[in-house]
Structure formats: structure tokens, C-alpha cells
Amino acid sequence: MENFDRNLIRDIADFPIKGITFKDITPLIADGPNFSRVIDLLSDISKNSHYIAGVESRGFIFAAAVAQATGKGFIPIRKAGKLPGKVISQSFDLEYGSASLEIHQDIYEAGKSVTIIDDVLATGGTAIAAINLVKKIGLKIDSVSFLLEISQLEGKSRILATYPDLQINLLLAE
């Protein structure tokens, strides 16, 4: 599915902690034609959804652009304590710690479909938490899309173990 310059994603060793290799997407989003191509690819995948959800923080970059490009509503899935009003939370483990995500529970029309977008699929913990939140507020998940997967961390397998019929879209696999 790749139609953009994968060399614009650079590896940063030992960030945010020693032993982790961070996938820096900044050069990709700084390059207008390549960023536009990524948004086009994700927009094609998301065209049948009612909403586009983005996982904080780098998933927002892609999901908000896709929502705008497709004329869909945007759903922010945020870190704990960042959303006002009625929210529900989901805790999860990361490859280097734990975290919690939240989503508004009283804004979106139940039964509508959503595509969830994030930048990197690593262990799958963040994605599973986002999927759980979207399901808890009564939305139907069309698919989950990622710019890239770090294959050796087996996140896709972990997601499919929990949600075997879920469509997972990857623009790149590392």
C-alpha cells in the first residue's frame, strides 16, 4: 500500500527511554507531497465511516486531516484528564509503562461507524484501549489504520487475538 517515501520516517534510539527506538514521523509530515499522499491513502480506507477517531497525540495529526479531507466528524481519543464533560476511561500497558485514554460518552450517535487512526502500531495496547472505548460508547468500528507497524512487537496479532474480525490497515510494516 506504500506510495510515499518511507525514508522520511527516522529512527531515534533510546527515546523516550533507553532501549526504545522511537519512530519519528516529523520529516514525513513536514514534506507536503508525502504527507498529502498518506492522507489520501488513509482517506480512501476511511471513506465509508461516519466518524474518524484519532489517538493522542500523533494519531491526531493524521485523523484530523483525514476527517477534514473526507468531510467526516473527528473523535479525539485523549490521554486521561484532557477532555471536559462526561468521559469514559480505559487503562492499558505500553512497551515502556502504562497509560489511560478517555473518550466523550455523550456526543456521538450510537450505531454510527468509525475508523480509528494512529501513527505507529507497536504492542497493540493503545489500539486495544481505543477500540474498547469506541465500542463502549456504542459505535461500530469499520477498521483501525496505522501509518506503520513495528512487526517484531506483534501488536497486530495481539489486536486480532482480542478482535479476530477487525480490519487492520497498515501503510508500512517495519
The residues assigned a catalytic role are 58, 95
For the record, the C-alpha cell of 146 comes out as: 496505522
Order of strands across the sheet with 51-55?
A: 87-94, 97-104, 73-79, 51-55, 113-121, 140-149, 168-173
Angstrom distance (rounded) from CA 59 to CA 57:
5
Alpha carbons within 13 A on the beta-carbon side of 158 = 20
The per-residue b/e assignment along 129-157, b for 16 or more CB within 10 angstroms, e otherwise, is: bbbbbbeebebebbbbbbbbbbeebbbbe
Query: What residue spans of 14-166 are helical by DSSP H?
Result: 26-30, 32-46, 58-70, 125-136, 155-162
Q: At what angle do helices 58-70 and 32-46 cross, to 10 degrees?
A: 70
